[in-house]
Amino acid sequence: MKSAFAAALAAQPSATSSLPSTATDAADNVYNIYASSDSTQGSYTNAQALTSYKDCMDFCDNDSKCNAWTYVGGTNGVGSGSCWLKSKLGSPSPAGANVVSGSKNGKVTTTYSTTDPTSTPFYIKISRSGTSADNRYIFISSANGQSKLVSNPADATKFVVNQRNNYMLAQTGSAAGLAFALGPTTSATSPLYFAKQGVAAQSYFSCAVQPNGDAACSVNGVGIAGTVCAADNYSSIQLITGGWPSSCLWVLWSFISA
C-alpha cells in the first residue's frame, strides 16, 4: 500500500529518479526511499556520509531515536554528503536531485531453504603473498566478517558452498549459516562480510573450486581479489573493491578439505 508520504511525493514533478523505492541495509532493515525529497520534520543530529545515501541507513540503525533521515549530497544519492537523522519522516517537501529521504519499514524476511545441498566442508588457506600470512587459514571471529589468520587449521572457520546458488557459507563460528557477501565499503578495501541468504539488495559471492584446488569467487560476474596489508601486519584478509591500496599484497586462497 502506498503511504501518504509517497502519494504526496508522487504529485511533485521534481521527484523523479533511478533510485529504488525501497532499500535493505546490512542489518536487514528495510527503508522506504524517496528521491528528490526533503521532509518538513526537523532533524535532531547529523552525520557524514562517505559514499552514498546508504550510509544514512547505517547511522539510523545505530541510533535508537532514529526512524527516518534525509541525505544531502551527490546527485541521486551517490557520493559524500550529510545525513540528517529524524525521529519521524513528516510531510514531503520537493528538493533537488541531490536530496534523498528514507524511513524505516521493518526488517527483511528471508525465504531460502536451509536444506540446500552443500559441498563437503573446507578451510581457506592463504598463499603466494610473500609475507607471514602465507600458509595460514581464515578464521571469522564475528558475523560482520572480521577475520584473522591462524596457523592451525583446527582453529580456522569451516566453509561450504551452497550447490544451488554457489554461495559460500560459513559452517562454524559466529557467522555460521551466513553467506559470503560484499560488505559496506568506505575505501579501496572491504573486510570479509557475511549476510543472510535471500536478501534481494545484497551482493553475494559466487564461488567455485578450480581443478587445482584454488578458489575463484566473483560478485555479479566480476572477480574480487583478496589482499593482506602492512597496516595490520598482514594478520587479516581484505577484499579489493577499488584501486589497489598501498602497502598491500595480493594473495591466493585455496579450498583445503576439512
The C-alpha cell at 249 is 599484497
Does residue 252 or residue 18 have the better pLDDT? 252
Interatomic CA distance for residues 162 and 165, integer angstroms: 6
pLDDT at position 186 over 70: no
Mean pLDDT of 234-242: 78
Which residues are within 8 A (CB) of 95 and not within 5 positions of it... i.e. 6 or more apart? Answer: 14, 36, 37, 38
The reply to whether 122-257 shares the fold of 4-107 is no
Residue with cell 600470512: 133
Interatomic CA distance for residues 69 and 228, integer angstroms: 36
Domain positions in the chain: 4-107, 122-257
> Whole-model pTM above 0.95?
no
Does residue 216 or residue 54 have the better pLDDT? 54
CATH class of segment(s) 122-257: mainly beta
| Of the candidate ranges 75-79, 123-127, 157-161, 226-230, the one whose mean pLDDT is the lowest | 226-230
Over residues 28-60, the pLDDT tens digits come to 678 889 999 888 888 999 999 988 898 898 899
Q: Determine phi and psi for 33, rounding to 5 degrees.
A: -115, 130
Residue with cell 536531485: 97
Q: Quick one: which H or E segment has residue 56?
A: helix 54-61
The full length of the chain comes to 258
pLDDT at position 169 over 60: yes
Over residues 12-22, the pLDDT tens digits come to 444 445 677 88
Do the Cβ atoms of 138 and 191 come closer than 8 Å? no
Interatomic CA distance for residues 85 and 42, integer angstroms: 9
Residue with cell 532499500: 23
Q: What is the dihedral of CA 124, 127, 133, 137, to 10 degrees?
A: 20
Instruction: Report helix, strand and coil shares of the chain as percent, to nearest 5.
Output: 10, 40, 50
Superfamily of segment(s) 4-107 = Hepatocyte Growth Factor (3.50.4.10)
DSSP string for 72-105: ESSGGGBSSEEEEEESS--SEEE--TTEEEEEEE
